[in-house]
């Protein structure tokens, strides 16, 4: 499996090279703190360098923050997601995420499971929050996630986002 981990791909328009196998942190919330930290470190030791989490994943951000020292942080990519429905909520989420993740930036901040493409012309929209977070240096890149194919395609067509994440898992049908 180690060889598969080393295969990389271009991650959206970011210029980042992500490993073919990444760590989606939704399930780590089911572990106690010590087991979650151990699992994250084992993933890192096994070659995984891309870790995806979200504010909605209870304590997963805290576990990631505790699992990786500042020296390891430079060698991994961290993506988190905000379920905020406006600019201020997105900014509040990213500030909380940064505190829990014990870092001053994430590589990717995404609007979580959007059901419609955010209005780029609304100064208080989700999109405005993502752009402000990027301007403030809280994130390097912005993106969206959706479970609806029509919304995912529409977001891509705007050209506004560095990434579009759609749920596909080798391990889980959900």
Which residues are known catalytic residues?
A: 57
Residue with tokens 């993502």: 130
Who's near 73: CB < 8 A, 6+ residues apart? 102, 103
Cβ–Cβ under 8 Å, residues 66 and 102? yes
Whole-angstrom CA distances from 34 to 39, 40, 52, 55, 163 are 9, 10, 19, 20, 32
Residue 79's nearest CA partner among 142, 13, 147, 15 is 142
Whole-angstrom distance, CA of residue 7 vs CA of residue 5: 6
Structure tokens at 116: 């419609």
Structure tokens at 50: 């891309």
- Three-state DSSP at 79 gives strand
Widest Cα–Cα separation across the chain: 46
């Amino acid at each position: 499996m180690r060889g598969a981990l080393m295969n990389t791909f271009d991650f959206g328009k970011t210029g980042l090279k992500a490993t073919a196998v990444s760590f989606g942190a939704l399930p780590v919330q089911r572990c106690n703190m010590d087991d979650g930290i151990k699992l994250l470190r084992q993933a890192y030791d096994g070659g995984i360098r891309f870790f995806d989490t979200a504010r909605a994943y209870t304590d997963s951000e805290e576990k990631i923050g505790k699992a990786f020292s500042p020296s390891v942080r430079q060698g991994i990519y961290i993506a988190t997601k905000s379920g905020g429905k406006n600019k201020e909520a997105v900014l509040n989420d990213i500030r909380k995420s940064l505190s829990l993740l014990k870092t001053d930036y994430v590589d990717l901040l995404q609007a979580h499971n959007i059901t419609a493409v955010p209005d780029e012309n609304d100064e208080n929209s989700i999109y405005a929050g993502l752009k402000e977070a990027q301007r403030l240096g809280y994130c390097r890149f912005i993106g969206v996630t959706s479970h609806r194919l029509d919304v995912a395609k529409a977001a891509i067509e705007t050209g506004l986002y560095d990434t579009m994440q759609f749920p596909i898992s080798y391990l889980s049908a959900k």
